């Protein structure tokens, strides 16, 4: 299967830790990537190759992976972190990319 | 500074065609794999096509295969996406994006395509 499954929503209080999972068989052979998308804006790359932070991304964003599940962790969540978050697999067979279903993070 | 600007979006009737363009600055599109990614209303992101590197490799997502042509103009430092036989479900914001290390590190602001009679 070439699907990536994410929880539809995650709610967290300011200062707490948010964890967003992304599950799919593809991730056993491909890196995971993570994006943040705020309303009316283009996605922003947060994490590449599973755990590397993209340029300018705060340290509170981190990525990890185990088996077929990748996790984006937001430590010390801030109000500005309220957004949609998407995972993405690297090019499967060098041919196509798959995005996860997306997770809405709500800061309570 | 890396910058991508899409153009060509608009309203098109079902069955119609539309051509989107993406102009890059701050880097050469011929040095990277460049993709088109769309976001339908209320739905998530969907990768639909890439054109890559000096060899110009091309691939299309199954969902739009046969209805897309991606191309690149190195002299203009731009890429294009010709879409055919458009359907209501193709209504979306279409983004061009640059692939670096397998992820998309730069995105345009998006072009809205609305397919409606």
- Which of A43, A49, A100 is facing B107, going by the closest CB pair? A43
* B46 touching A (Cβ < 8 Å): yes
Q: Using beta carbons and an 8 Å cutoff, which residues of A are at the interface with B?
A: 30-31, 33, 35, 37, 42-45, 48-49, 54-55, 84, 86, 88, 90-91, 95-102
Chain A residues within an 8 Å CB radius of B105: 45, 48, 54-55
Q: What pLDDT is recorded for position A94?
A: 75
Q: What pLDDT is recorded for position B53?
A: 77
pLDDT-based confidence at residue B7 (cuts at 50, 70, 90): very high
**Which token pair is B114?**
């609305």
Q: pLDDT per residue over B27-40, tens digit each?
A: 999 999 999 999 99
Which of A37, A41, A42 is the mutation pick for testing B, counting most B CBs within 10 A? Answer: A42
Q: What pLDDT is recorded for position A91?
A: 82
Edge-to-edge, what's the strand order for the sheet holding A83-89?
A: A9-12, A103-107, A83-89, A32-37, A44-48, A52-53
Q: What pLDDT is recorded for position B54?
A: 77
Q: pLDDT per residue over B72-84, tens digit each?
A: 999 999 999 999 9
Q: What pLDDT is recorded for position A90?
A: 86
pLDDT 10s digit of each residue in chain A, 108 long? 679 999 999 999 999 999 999 999 999 999 999 999 999 999 999 999 999 999 999 999 999 999 999 999 999 999 999 999 999 998 888 788 999 999 999 999
Distance of CA B88 to CAs A102, B26, B47, B113, Å? 22, 35, 18, 10
Mean local confidence (pLDDT), B6-16:
97
Mean local confidence (pLDDT), B99-113:
96
**Chain A residue closest to B46 (CA)?**
A99
Left if phi > 0, otherwise alpha if psi is -120 to 50, otherwise beta: which for A48?
beta
* B109 touching A (Cβ < 8 Å): yes
Q: pLDDT per residue over B23-69, tens digit each?
A: 999 999 999 999 999 999 989 999 999 998 777 899 999 888 899 99
Q: What pLDDT is recorded for position A1?
A: 61
Distance of CA B40 to CAs A2, B46, B54, B88, Å? 19, 8, 31, 10
Q: What pLDDT is recorded for position A95?
A: 81
Q: What pLDDT is recorded for position B55?
A: 76
Chain B residues within an 8 Å CB radius of A65: none
């Amino acid at each position: 299967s070439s699907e990536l499954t994410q929880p539809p929503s995650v709610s967290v209080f300011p200062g707490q830790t948010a964890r967003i999972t992304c599950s799919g068989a593809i991730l056993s052979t491909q890196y995971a990537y993570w994006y943040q998308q705020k309303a009316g804006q283009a996605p922003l790359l947060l994490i590449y190759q599973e755990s590397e932070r993209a340029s300018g991304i705060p340290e509170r964003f981190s990525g990890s992976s185990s088996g077929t599940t990748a996790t984006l962790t937001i430590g010390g969540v801030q109000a500005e972190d309220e957004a949609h978050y998407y995972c993405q697999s690297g090019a499967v067979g060098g041919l196509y990319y798959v995005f996860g279903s997306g997770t809405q993070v709500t800061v309570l | 500074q890396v910058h991508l600007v899409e153009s060509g979006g608009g309203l098109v009737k079902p069955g119609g065609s539309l051509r989107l363009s993406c102009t890059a600055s701050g880097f050469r599109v011929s040095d990277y794999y460049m993709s088109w990614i769309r976001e339908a209303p209320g739905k998530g992101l969907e990768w639909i096509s890439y054109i890559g590197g000096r060899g110009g490799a091309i691939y299309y997502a199954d969902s739009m295969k046969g209805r897309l042509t991606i191309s690149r103009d190195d002299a203009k430092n731009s890429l294009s996406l010709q879409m055919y036989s458009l359907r209501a479900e193709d209504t979306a914001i279409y983004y061009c994006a640059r692939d670096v290390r397998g992820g998309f590190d730069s995105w345009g602001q998006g072009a809205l395509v609305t397919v409606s009679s």
